[in-house]
Structure 1
Amino acid sequence: MKLTKTTFAVTLSALMATTGMVSAQSLAEIEAAAKAEGMLTTIALPHSWCGYGDVIAGFKAKYPEIQVNELNPDAGSADEVEAIKANKDNKGPQAPDVVDVGLAFGPTMKAEGLLQPYKVSTWDEIPESIKDAEGYWYGDYYGVMSFIVNKDLVANTPADWADLLKPEYAGQVALAGDPRASNQAILGVLAAGLSKGAAAGEAAGKAGLEYFAELNKAGNFVPVIAKAGTIAQGATPIAIAWDYNALAWKDELAGNPPVEIVVPKTGVLAGVYVQGISAYAPHPNAAKLWMEYLYSDEGQNLWLKGYCHPARFNAMVAAGKVPQELIDALPPAASYEAAYFPTLEEVDANKAAVTGGWDAVVGANVQ
């Protein structure tokens, strides 16, 4: 019997309330409904970010009946939020079904009514500290802030944040995003603040702003959003980015130019991103099926192949579900030992300080 949307929603809601998971039968119903919808609309998923190229290809191969409509791959977390708001009443191809945003954006999107709850079948293996108890958002992967350096242009690789202030790096240092909108850049500022000894949260955000103001005044900061192309062209010889992005860019550049990636000695910051389904998703069942794929063993290992530590990493390693070659491809484990995982409150406080103070304190129009 074909379930109506109302009957299906009630059945699924009752099931999750009693078990916190989705049964195999419910997954079959979701899959059938998703295939009937025939489309999934994503946003802000560059193929080089966290292995998303392989992830999307894997989803397409498993569900060829579902077209993947990719919106604005280079968008930031704030852009994703605005895309949902702008398309609340639009069921067309410009309305995102799903989002992948920085940790701080999950709770705010829930509070604004922009997300709908859904608990994937592997819910119990997602750490409690990085998921909403009601299933509105949940952590997907994490990495640490790093420097990627064009060795054709930079003779001495900087080892720490303080090094970037040296005169030899004039006109060479960039963030991989606009710190007024990009979660990656916002947390890059937090990491810089931590390196100055500030406590995580508002204090580190303000200290990070002061650091970038100093970097900008010295003439070392470049107001260009860094990516593989700008690194290769010499526009941003030193880029501050998540380690998984830096490693993916290194693969993309394939030695032309040669690059070096370092995790700074201080201010080692771990950043968690989260998934969510738009409350206004035109294809809600395709969105749920996408989530199931992302949090399956296959999806998690594809993220790891893209140099990201997936949410279920510890549970999967314990169960022997992670190929050793994927672990070996990551930076040495010691690089992560000093990593600081900020609390949600600290991330929120930092975000408010950075987005609210960048223009006044730093005054560099990053674009």
Structure 2
Amino acid sequence: MISHMRRLLSLSTAMVMASTAIAAAEPSAELIAAAKAEGTLTTIALPHDWCGYGGVIEGFKAKYGLTINELNPDAGSGDEIEAIKANKDNKGDQAPDVIDVGLSFGPSAKADGLIQPYKVSTWDSIPDTAKDAEGYWYGDYYGVMAFEVNKDLVKESPKDWADLLKPEFANMVALAGDPRTANQAISGVFAAGLSGAGGDVAKSGEAGLAFFKELNAKGNFVPVIGKSAPLAQGTTPIILRWDYNALSDRDTLAGNPPVDVVIPETGVVAGVYVQAISAYAPHPNAAKLWMEYLYSDEGQLGWLKGYCHPIRFNDLAKNGKIPQDLLDKLPPAAAYEKAVFPTLEQQEAYKEVITKGWDTVVGANVQ
């Protein structure tokens, strides 16, 4: 399992050889005091069933005693960026202190002057490939695109992207967000395109749009944002979403309905999400303390409890800090062996193609 994760992340030994002392570092007493003086942290787009966020939020509050003001939990990455822009001069409850966005949104937010640098105590154990060298943004966890299937309504689950075009899946298939703004949905379109383009990343944006044009024309695509409620109700019996969200739903729904989580045979796309602090954060010290918590051993294991692969996985594994029961709950390592980690440049390219081309090529208004 450990060697497999190394292979997925394409890490060199130098990237993961952080000392135990660094990994165990704690935020300073001065930072803790300053954060407690501010008293509040404002977050955005953190649904409690996403990647174990409910437990992570409660863990942070219990440890430091701060209040968390949670804005729009179902927002997408693009919405988070717009929230910073709209609240540059607002120090009230609608101004987010921190954001959690898809990898490609980190560099663009930095270029637009919307985020500020901060390096957490465990900085050296975060792979260089997943962080900004100056500390403006840093990867925190990742998953792969999967099919979440309501087994009461779908007797034979699709095994690959091409299966979704079959007539038996009419009016069943949904994205987990708006592909014009949400990273998860953009990644779903890209993954379908990667499969259709035979693994050619450069052609996958256009191929993904073509796939969804056909899916929509056949009547198989449902222009509704897929999540656990419409899945259970039968509105969106098949949802294309990150594996950790699907696995979390499987637990939460507890067999009502039974849920199958399928990692497709081709077009297996991994998505890294990154954290950053708003350049206009009303509570900058609380924001920094939040980052310290997320990148601590406790915070990172919180992601694993929510079926996400924490960005410091290799460091935690090397130091024997991952409980076996958490490893046992993950899907088999073999399911991830074909995972593709698009580079920042590739993500920027296909994001532009998909977000700008969705309306004209596919023409389905996802809500």
| TM norm structure 1 | 0.92
Of 293-302 and 21-30, more deviation after overlay is shown by: 21-30
**Contact persistence 1:202–1:353 (CA under 8 A):** no
> Secondary structure of 1:136's partner?
coil
Deviation readout 1:320-346 (Å, 9 max, x if unpaired): 011111111111100111100000000
Match of 2:321 in 1: 321
Offset at residue 252 of structure 1 (A): 1.3
Count of residue pairs the alignment pairs up: 346
Q: Which residue of 2 aligns with 1:183?
A: 183
1:123 aligns with 2:123: yes
User: Would you say 1:38 and 2:39 are equivalent positions?
Assistant: yes
Distance 1:200 1:99 in 2: 31
In structure 2, what is the equivalent of residue 10 of structure 1? Answer: none
CA contact (8 A) 1:159 1:262 kept: yes
Structure 1 distance, partners of 2:56, 2:354, is: 32
Looking at structure 2, the residues matched to 70 and 365 of structure 1 have their Cα atoms a distance apart, in angstroms, of: 27
1:1-367 aligned at under 5 Å gives the runs 27-64=28-65, 66-197=66-197, 201-367=201-367
Deviation per CA, 1:131-150: give whole Å up to 9, x if none: 00000000000000000111
Give the 3 Å change call, closer, same or farther, for CA 213–280 of structure 1 in structure 2. same
* Offset at residue 24 of structure 1 (A): 6.9
Matched residues in 2 for 1:122 and 1:261: separation?
Answer: 33
Q: Percent identity?
A: 71
User: Quick one: which amino acid aligns to residue 184 of structure 1?
Assistant: Q
Runs of 4+ in 1 over 2 A off after TM superposition: 21-26, 197-202
The one-letter code of the counterpart of 2:55 is D
What is the CA–CA distance in structure 2 between the aligned matches of 1:202 and 1:365, rounded to whole Å?
26
Write the distance in 1 (CA, Å) between the matches of 2:200 and 2:124: 28
Shift of 1:360: 0.4
Question: What amino acid is the match of 1:93?
Answer: D
How far, CA to CA, are the matches of 1:48 and 1:200 in structure 2? 33
Whichever residue aligns with residue 163 of structure 2, its letter is D
Letter aligned with residue 41 of structure 1: T
- Secondary structure at 1:74 match in 2: coil
| Residue 197 of structure 1: how far off its partner (Å) | 2.5
Q: Is there any run of 5+ residues in structure 1 with no aligned partner, and where? A: 1-20
Residue in 1 aligned with 2:12? none
Instruction: Name the CA distance, whole Å, in 1 between partners of 2:314 and 2:25.
Output: 24
Preserved CA contact (<8 Å) 1:45 1:70:
yes
Q: Is the Cα contact below 8 Å between 1:98 and 1:287 reproduced in 2?
A: yes
- Aligned equivalents of 2:31, 2:111: Cα separation in 1: 26
Q: Distance in 1 between matches of 2:26 and 2:183?
A: 37
- Partner SS state of residue 272, structure 1: strand
* TM-score for both structures, normalised by structure 2: 0.92
Q: Over aligned residue pairs, what C-alpha RMSD do you find?
A: 1.4
